[in-house]
A and B are shown apart, each in its own frame.
Chain A
Amino acid sequence: MPTLETTFAGIKCLNPFWLASAPPTNCGEQIMRAFDAGWGGAVWKTIGEQVTNVSSRYSSIDWNGQKMMGFNNIELISDRPPEVNLREMAEVKRRYPKHVVIASLMVESKREVWHEMVQRAEDAGVDGLELNFGCPHGMSERGMGSAVGQVPEYCEQITGWVKEKARTPVIVKLTPNISDIRMAARAAKSGGADALSAINTINSITGIDLETLEPRPNVDGKSSHGGYCGPAVKPIALNMVQQVMSDPLAALPMSGIGGIGSWQDAAEFMLLGAGTVQVCTAAMHFGYRIVEDMGDGLLAWMRRKGYETIDDFRGLSLPNMREWKNLNLNFRVVAEIHADKCIGCQLCYTACWDGAHQCIHLDRVDGGMAQPVMGTDPRYAQHEANPHGKPTPAMVFAQSVKTIVTTPIPKLDLDGEGSNSAVTPLARIPRVDVDECVGCNLCSLVCPVPECITMERVETGLPAQTWAERVASAESVKA
């Protein structure tokens, strides 16, 4: 039977699911409820010198009827006195000794201030420390958070100060608001960090109220850039985690963060090297209960794949990420539309014409529009066939609009357009010109029907060759 138990930078974990340092980990009462719901660990809302927060603080963007595809906050670190947080940490650890409590810290960039805070947190009995070098709003204006994370030298220096004092593992939380996250990660590693977590939130403005012209979140008519997170940032986070984990000078135990809300998300971060994952937005959206399926689903997947522990699959996708120059140029796929599944929406057709390489056509049925067409548009009077000699979408559409149709009368017009047909008319099923198809995937991405458009490998008969190899061989020929 697979297990979710794991060890992260020497910290024993009941499971790899931690709540990230954020509103869901604001106080001990919350964290204990989260542990009851199944979370294996919690990174306490960052403590430091007590701050005052603004009202309001959050905003989000919805997409196609789904709420909170992306989420943004301008909340600072904990606005509770540090001693209260520390007292509650001690209590949580006493009641939940097997659960992981990490203290997230952010203080003034002075050695003795950091030393004192490390001491106080460890005295409270926490399992580890997370250094918040990532918070992109407010705190950065005071020389903390991402102001540290963006300068590798500060990052290394402060990590070093902390390590002078710390007896528990030190995790450095990285900011994505930097041109190359590996620089900060390398600095943390040379400063002696035991682990990394990435990513913190991304600088963002989520939107503007089109009536008042005021950006969100609204604080007395004004706003400030906030930290972006939620499902929208996952691809950015995955890339940054991979960059760090593929870099021998930077790689350390990694706690993955960014848009994680399901077991699939967690598995993806782990396949790129994360040993634990941290969750915030999904828990803010749906509550602590989401962890149940994260564990249940991950275990089921592990069983299916034959993995006993998280370490069995951690990082397995890293070798599959390459620099572009090391991809095989002689590999080729082409799109195949499975007519039996096609519902005739023709989104692949319009996508291929406008967004790709004009190699999907509506010519399965012989007829006027299947004839090669001279020119694409009268304004481009080239007097030659368009690149593929086929009608453009505008021509197809214009022909359609000219058709005269009438309401079918039952018993008279059995096969009218509106005949509820379970079978897609052949004329509506697009055809891929496989000789022209470059295998870009776009049609298969826009197709709403699972498995309807598949990308099929075509044998090129050529040996694998990368751009790097091609350049090298060209140079050796020259030489």
Chain B
Amino acid sequence: MSEATNFFSKAGGSAEVAARFADLHPPLEKTAAVTEALRCLYCFDAPCMGACPTHIDVPKFIKKIASGNLEGSARTILEANILGASCSRACPVQVLCEGACVMHRYNKQPIEIGRLQRFAMDALHASGDPLPFTPGADTGKRVALIGGGPASLACAAELRRRGVRAEIFDARPLPGGLNTYGIAEYKLPLAESLREIDMLAQLGVEFHFDTMVDAARLAELEASYDAVFLGMGLGAIHKLGVAGEELEGVTNALDFIAGYKSGTLSDVPARVAVIGAGNTAIDAANAAIRLGAKEVHMVYRRGSQEMSAFGFEYEHARQEGVRFLWHVTPVKVVGEGKVTALELARLEYAEDGSLLPKEGPHILLEVDLVVLAIGQGTHAEFVSMAGKDSSKVRLERGRIVIDRETGQTSNPKFFAGGDCTNGGREVVDAVADGKRAGIGIAVWLAAKPEGQHADA
């Protein structure tokens, strides 16, 4: 069991990386924050609140910024979203709260909700105060949470507030999952993720690091804990399945981003190709530029209209200087021991809309580093081994099936949330899932007759 920790102090990272990955959205100055807060109309049943998966009462926290009640503002955010600080930086607010702002229809700019939320959370951190919550009276129950990402963290916080012990098991040496290792540093620095988790540790959330949970370990946990929360996210990034993929100089976006964030990777070669066109691909491509690459190409088999990245992420990548190669697909990674080029086939649409190789010569794109970002697989299969046949945790296309309101799986003792249930969405979706599951677990535990401990 972990002692009281200070994860924040364990954040490595170089000053050079910090300088290159300065805030994409800089913090608001106090006067600017108040001015912005005063612009908010204070809508009733505000659309921004409805658009937030965690339903932060946005007008309420904004009005508190305007009134100078920063303590109350932070509490309002945290009541709904215990990871309000990281969400304020990591959320694609353009398609969430800010996208829903009625100001769009008022011929005005939407309220800068994300930056205001960060302002309130930064103020809390600067005050040195702990979370404005206390652990509930001890119920004697304990829950194992698999994976230390946003879903588990949010779930653990709800459990602690209800007097349930929450122990997080994570394969990595630091907590936070993708919040710590996977979000572009110019949005959410690794250290900021850890600062937020320190506050959860103060609430009594416990951590077991460097702990892989497999089917056998899961069975042990099931036997000794009152409930299990599955929040282990997605698995590895897909392989291309072409020759040369094993060459040195071929990596994947998650390792690449985690590498530069945690300080194990501080520069990149001159020519980089990123395969894929999702938000993670864009984070990787932008990072390559900021880490010193001279030429970064994104390689995608379809066109800009079909890319899965948000429009504003695409625009950001263009501004960073990323180049795009549309309607091409890698057929071979070229190199002798080390990658030197990427062989690309041109694609065209068949009449039925499917993509077919186009006649003609292949393109040889000279590159020194290939970063794969073509989506992650699932790795939840091992959980379906837990439980008896009748009470297995049911999966669908590799995703854990849950009751949306409580997070409960087909095995009543197992709850789940986040990417392993939704196939990969945003941090805030994982937080919302974790919050609902935390409440769901506490309600379920409270309703369970005594002595029914570990019914395996």
Contact = CB atoms under 8 A, between A and B. Distances in A.
Given A344-B47, A405-B51, A424 B99 contact: no
A407 B105 contact: no
Interface stretch (B20-28, B176-184, B248-256, B423-431): B423-431
Contact of B44 (A347, A401, A416): A347
- The secondary-structure label for the interface of chain B is helix
A346 B41 CA distance: 10
Given A409-B425, A411-B308, A419-B95, 4 more contacts: A344-B102, A349-B44, A397-B45, A418-B99
Interface string A331-354: 000000000000111110110000
B309 interface: yes
Contacts of B50: 400, 403, 405, 417
B35 A417 contact: no
A353 to B, nearest CB: 9
Interface in B76-118: 91-92, 94-100, 102-106
A419 to B, nearest CB: 6
B428 A407 contact: yes
Nearest to A420: B99
A396 B50 CA distance: 12
A470 B170 CA distance: 81
6 contacts: A65-B34, A343-B106, A417-B100, A418-B100, A419-B100, A420-B94
A393 B43 CA distance: 12
A419 B99 contact: yes
A420 B35 CA distance: 23
Interface of B: 34-35, 38, 41-45, 47, 49-53, 55, 66, 91-92, 94-100, 102-106, 306-311, 404-405, 422, 425-426, 428-429, 432, 436
Contacts of B308: 409-411
Contact of A411 (B34, B66, B306, B428): B306
Contacts, number: 107
A52 interface: no
Contact of A420 (B53, B104, B309, B425): B104
Given A344-B47, A397-B45, A407 B53 contact: yes
B298 to A, nearest CB: 16
A179 interface: no
A422 B105 contact: yes
B105 A343 contact: yes
Contacts of A419: 95, 99-100
Interface of A: 64-65, 343-347, 349-350, 393, 396-397, 400-401, 403-411, 416-424, 428, 448-449
Contact of B426 (A397, A407, A417): A407
Contacts of B98: 418
Contacts of B309: 410
B1 to A, nearest CB: 34
Name which of A65, A400, A403, A410 has the most chain B CB atoms within 10 A of its CB: A410
Q: Which 7 A-B pairs have the closest CB atoms?
A: A418-B99, A417-B51, A346-B44, A350-B44, A343-B105, A418-B51, A407-B426
A346 B47 CA distance: 10
A428 B422 contact: no
A421 B95 CA distance: 10
Nearest to A449: B106
B96 A407 contact: yes
Contacts of B55: 400-401
Contacts of A417: 47, 50-51, 96, 99-100
A345 B95 contact: no
B41 A347 contact: yes
A301 to B, nearest CB: 26
B363 to A, nearest CB: 26
A409 B112 CA distance: 21
Contact of B96 (A344, A418, A428): A418
Contact of A406 (B44, B97, B105, B425): B425
B178 to A, nearest CB: 14
Nearest to B103: A343
B429 A407 contact: yes
Contacts of B307: 410
Given A418-B98, A419-B99, A407 B425 contact: yes
B38 A64 contact: yes
Nearest to A350: B44
B51 A416 contact: yes
B411 to A, nearest CB: 22
Given A407-B426, A410-B308, A347 B43 contact: yes
A419 B92 CA distance: 12
Nearest to A362: B45
A416 B428 CA distance: 15
Nearest to A422: B105
Contacts of A406: 53, 422, 425, 429, 432
Contacts of B91: 407
Contacts of B432: 404, 406
A401 B104 CA distance: 22
B99 to A, nearest CB: 3
B95 A65 contact: no
Nearest to A353: B44
Contacts of A349: 44
Contacts of A345: 41, 43-44, 102
B42 A400 contact: no
Contacts of B44: 345-347, 349-350, 393, 397
Name which of B51, B92, B306, B425 has the most chain A CB atoms within 10 A of its CB: B51
Contacts of B425: 406-407, 409
Given A400-B49, A417-B100, A418-B100, A408 B95 contact: yes
A347 B310 contact: no
A403 B306 CA distance: 29
